[in-house]
Amino acid sequence: MTGKEKCKALKKLRAQIADANEIQWVTEECPYEGECPGTCPRCEEEVRMLEEALECRRKEGKSVVKSGFSVDKKFGSEEKSDAKVETVSNSTETDGSEDAQIAPFAPGSPLMGVPAWNMPPHISENKPKVFLLEKQQNEDACESTSREEKPRRGWLSRWFGSGKRNRKGKKK
Amino acid sequence: MKLLFPSIGYDRLRMETDGEGVTTLVCAQGCPLRCKYCINPESSCNRGKPRHLFTPESLYNLVKIDSLYFLATGGGIMFGGGEPLLYVDFMEAFSKLAPDFKIYCETSLWVNPRQIRKAAEFVDHFMVDIKDTDPEIYRAYTGKEFQRAGENLRLLLSLVGADKITVRLPRIPDFNADDHRDKSEALLREWGITRFDRFDYIIKEKNQ
């Protein structure tokens, strides 16, 4: 399963969780076309927002559906044969550093201990995007009600600003 | 005594390769076996300082980022390596911090029976890498005797039952063939094992 396929499967899973909990969920398709580990700060921001929405729902006394979902593996690569294979190395012929290329957690591997907050280099190339996430909230239950009427600022704009400048021409 | 887990690395967002649902694989440094085609040779004990040294709390803080996926899909943490049962006390402490996460363990079972008994209390599923039940083949490939692994497998079977055990039967080039695997499977079925995972090793050449 490629990183992109994982990303799609997890995106679909998030949408299923939101749907099961009557959370209105609108996200943009990821524009990045290169290799990725299946997650990125943007995806993880979506997870955080979904968890917040579920917590709001719980505080409102509504039922929260958190289990019973499955990963849609149709986004994964098709099995070409019934034979399963595992690629291994001849450990007696190497000093270990080359063999690390085989294991998924080799040095340099995207998922090798990379903290979730590390931004893949491609992110800085994208223009800040705003994705609208509407929550059905009880005004008394959650503090973030003031965001209901405004498009929610994407996390990128928090880093790169809104592009507006003050009277001295400096960015706000 | 502080419980520590020396790790050579971890792999997030694995999908139904370790068991049900979305899992994170955490690999231990340290293994009693010396398999010729070890997939993680850096997990051997004599490979120096581990890449990570986790406490139960630090590992939980690391993996909980995917807790939504674990809970939604019935996934959790797969402890592999290396030999994770060398750190069974750590695993137990971790499982208490994360009672909602499934705990999977990929092991050779070449450990002390005490560690098997302890693991049986909290591990949800065991992936047992038995290599081959032929003692000659086992000794040639791993450098150790099959007897301990075999006895521990029977002990584990008596403790948790066949549903919680999947035995991996690899076809290892230069060491065994399909008829050896058939014999291994037949023997293990006599013991009561019902779940098997048959697969082939493909040796990656050094210059590939």
- Position A117 scores a pLDDT of 37
pLDDT tens profile A25-44 = 887 777 777 778 888 888 99
Interface of B with A in 52-71 (CB under 8 A): 52, 65, 68-69, 71
Residue A12: closest C-alpha in chain B:
B69
Are the beta carbons of B199 and A84 separated by less than 8 Å?
A: yes
Of A54-58, B42-46, B62-66, B136-140, least confident by mean pLDDT is B42-46
What is the mean predicted confidence (pLDDT) over B7-35? 89
Total beta-carbon pairs less than 8 A apart between chain A and chain B = 129
Q: Alpha-carbon Rg of chain A, whole angstroms?
A: 21
- Position B94 scores a pLDDT of 97
pLDDT tens profile B178-187 = 999 999 999 9
Buried b (16+ CB within 10 A) or exposed e, A83-107: eeeeebbbbeeeebebbbeebbbbe
pLDDT tens profile B69-93 = 999 999 999 999 899 999 999 999 9
Percentage of residues in chain B having pLDDT higher than 90: 78
Question: What is the ipTM for the molecules in this complex?
Answer: 0.82
User: In the 3-class helix/strand/coil scheme, how is chain B assigned residue by residue?
Assistant: CCCCEEEEEEEEEEECCCCCCEEEEEEECCCCCCCCCCCCHHHCCCCCCCCEEECHHHHHHHHHHHHHHHHHHCCEEEEECCCHHHHHHHHHHHHHHCCCCEEEEEECCCCCHHHHHHHHCCCCEEEEECCCCCHHHHHHHHCCCHHHHHHHHHHHHHHHCHHHEEEEEEECCCCCCHHHHHHHHHHHHHHCCCCEEEEEEEEECCCC
The domain limits of chain A are 3-76+107-160
More confident residue, B107 or B37: B107
- The answer to whether B121 and B98 have CB atoms below 8 angstroms apart is no
Residues in chain A predicted with pLDDT less than 50, given as ranges, are 75-83, 92-153, 157, 161
**Does the structure show a pLDDT above 60 at B164?**
yes
More confident residue, B6 or B47: B6
Domains belonging to chain B, first-starting first, are 5-200 (3.20.20.70)
Are the beta carbons of B21 and A71 separated by less than 8 Å?
A: yes
- Position A77 scores a pLDDT of 41
